Amino acid sequence: MGIINSITLLILSSGVTGTIMSIVWILFCRVGKKYLHTKVINFALKIVLVSYFIPSIFIVMIIRDRNMSLRNSAFLFSTGYIDKVLKMFFLIIVLLFIIEAVKLLKEYIDLRNICRCRIPAELEINTNKERLSKKFKVKRRVSVYRSYAVFSPITYGVINPVIYFPIDDIEDEYMRVLLTHELLHNKQWDFIWKPLSTIARCIHWINPLVWILEKDVDKWSEASCDDKCCTIGEINQDVYFGYLYKTLDGVMTKYNRLVSHFKTGKDELIWREKRMAEEKRIKDKKGIVRGLELITLIISIMFVYIVSDISNKLYLNVFFNTAKMVAESEVNCKDIYDEEVLNLSEIEKNGAEFIELSTIASTDISGIITGDLRVGESGISSEIYLEKNINLDIAYIVEPLNKKVKIGIIQPDDSIRYISNDTIVGYNFEIAQSGEYKILIINESDTDINISISYAY
């Protein structure tokens, strides 16, 4: 399987993993938000976000594929049909990513304009910033500027975070609330989670759950920041939300996905205030928290296993069907390829080295075998019992492509029927006698090859 197909499977697999975690998150939030503190829910949401970058289904299926005792996985082996489908998905993903990247580039240019219009904040603001940073144990160094291009506070920067305030005069208590809010965003590492959620949406643009996730990341990170402002920040709740409503009444900075800034609508701000009131009624119940965490973990693992099993069966079914389509399309290939015959002893006299090919999947009427062959080596499969007057359909892929090989069958009398070819091909062997057969592949190219063969009868 090529690099493009592998990348596509990685992206699709991580999308499936993230989708599973999003569904679990929705259930978790519906049940747990009445019993769990906002910071716990916010932490769980970050785990969901990270899951969109972890291709656990891909990893599980690779483990299946490498476990030869399972004999029921064809993952990482493909047919021409599968290759076309994966390449189509890859083009769609790249196209959507480019569209989103262009939008983000425009937003980045807007941010550069903010940076060009900035001036250093007053000494008093910087002194308060240093004092609050020590109080909240914000380890990262945060710079503070004023800018003519912002109308409400924003925090920007992953490596060097910067807080921008408007040029307008801001009363001391209001400034303390705003500084506390923005510094606690930095303490929560929201300057990383925000861009990460944007990247997840760019990659998995077609998945509606990612759009919901991006909004939830914003909403719950703000709610978590509200909670910390009123607890460790020691700000009265009424005063705090009074200033937030005051900010809401003013001119807002243009929405930008690359920064953390105040863009909440009135409805969401009302929800945040209600959530703060609920937060006061929630008691620390570690038993309930640990129980919900354990249940969530078990459900997540079960979902991943079930989905990987279903994905494996679907992939195996598609592989066999498309491989058989290739073979059936070549039923009349005797008009193109001349079938030849030789005896096994002739190959053995020439000192041929035989390598036993690995059976990675098998059913009563079909199977998949694979192996690596050096120059001049021959690979043979395990014995397959075939009845007289049936057809053995074989489809095979040689990597790298366009390498000459002989593909054939060893009959019960040790005679060999084969064809020679150097492309992806299917062939139909008519079985003239009942008995034990083996599939044979001979590497006649000038380089080492990997061979994947599917057969059905």
Are residue 273 and residue 394 in the same domain, yes or no? no
φ, ψ for residue 260, nearest 5 deg: -100, 115
pLDDT band at 156 (very low <50, low <70, confident <90, very high): confident
Instruction: Let me know if residue 86 belongs to a domain.
Output: yes
Across the chain, mean pLDDT equals 75
**Residue type at 89?**
F
Q: At what angle do helices 237-249 and 208-231 cross, to 10 degrees?
A: 130
pLDDT above 60: residue 138: yes
Same domain? For 369 and 268 the reply is no
* Same domain for 101 and 19: yes
Task: Output the pTM of the full model.
Answer: 0.63
Query: Position of tokens 């953390």?
Result: 260
- The mean pLDDT of 430-440, rounded to a whole number, is 87
User: Which has more confidence, 88 or 329?
Assistant: 88
407 touches 427 (CB < 8 A): yes
CATH number, domain of 359, equals 2.60.120.380
- Quote the domain boundaries for residue 52: 3-300
Q: What is the widest separation between alpha-carbon atoms in the chain?
A: 98
Query: Into how many domains does the chain fold?
Result: 2
Q: Lowest mean pLDDT: which of 69-83, 148-162, 233-247? A: 69-83
CB atoms within 10 A of CB 64: 18
245 and 345 co-located in one domain: no
Q: What is the pLDDT of residues 313-371, one digit of tens each?
A: 666 666 666 655 544 444 444 444 556 776 666 666 666 667 888 876 666 777 778 88
Query: Which position has the higher pLDDT, 438 or 249?
Result: 438
What angle is formed at CA 398 by the lines to CA 393 and CA 404, rounded to 5 degrees? 95
Query: pLDDT tens-digit profile of 185-196?
Result: 888 887 788 888
